[in-house]
Amino acid sequence: MTGGAAEALAELEAQGATVAVAESLTGGLLAAALVAVPGASRCFRGSVTAYATELKASVLGVDPGLLAARGAVDAEVAGQMAEGVRRLMGADYGVATTGVAGPDPQDGQPVGTVHLAVAGPGGLSHSLLHLSPGRATIRRRTVEVALELLGDAVRSRRVSSSGLTGNRTSDATGSLSVHTANTRGGAMDTAQSEHDRAPRT
């Protein structure tokens, strides 16, 4: 995990950008991975571990109606968590994790369902993971993918700012770049959707 954190922080530092994280199922592991890197304080602003559902609303500003209707394990909830921690801590990027680490399902979602989001100057990116059971493995893999998603978002912004094409996260306000990942037996297959510019209702 430290390698992915170091890469993401290096990308942030190259842009003079900062990051904050909002964690649920990872319970501080993402923040710990970032601060394990020497010099992390140049880019890392801080974190909120909003483990209880109501804290996602009261601290991070997630819509209480959304939480009541869909539960905490939801793509839009992850997005609002990322935007909320970014705003709360005055960071350029916000990263959020929410999902089901087990041993029991939650909000009608099976164990291993994870939503990740990164909010930044280029818009909002989201990853949906379906991970093989094993609480420690689910949490560790979530952190790894969150760092990958952050690195992708920061690199995409750098490419976009330089005027090159091929960025994976649109600069359009409210855009959503969606990535899905499925892990079964240690193998991961990934796919990326088209940008979804229509807000979810």
Helix (H), strand (E) counts: the chain: 6, 7
Average pLDDT, the chain: 83
- Amino acid in the structure at residue 127: S
Q: What is the percent of the chain where pLDDT is above 70?
A: 78
Q: Of all residues in the chain, what percent carry a pLDDT higher than 90?
A: 75
Both tokens of residue 4?
A: 């992915």
Band of the pLDDT at 165, cuts 50, 70, 90?
very low
- Burial of 165 from C-beta contacts in 10 A (0-12 / 13-18 / 19+): exposed
Residue 183 pLDDT exceeds 80:
no
Q: How many CB atoms lie within 10 A of CB 150?
A: 28
* Residues 22-36: tens digit of each pLDDT: 999 999 999 999 999
Residue 110 identity (one-letter amino acid): P
3-state secondary structure of 176: strand
pLDDT for residue 39 is more than 70 = yes
The neighbouring-strand residues paired with 129 are 114, 181
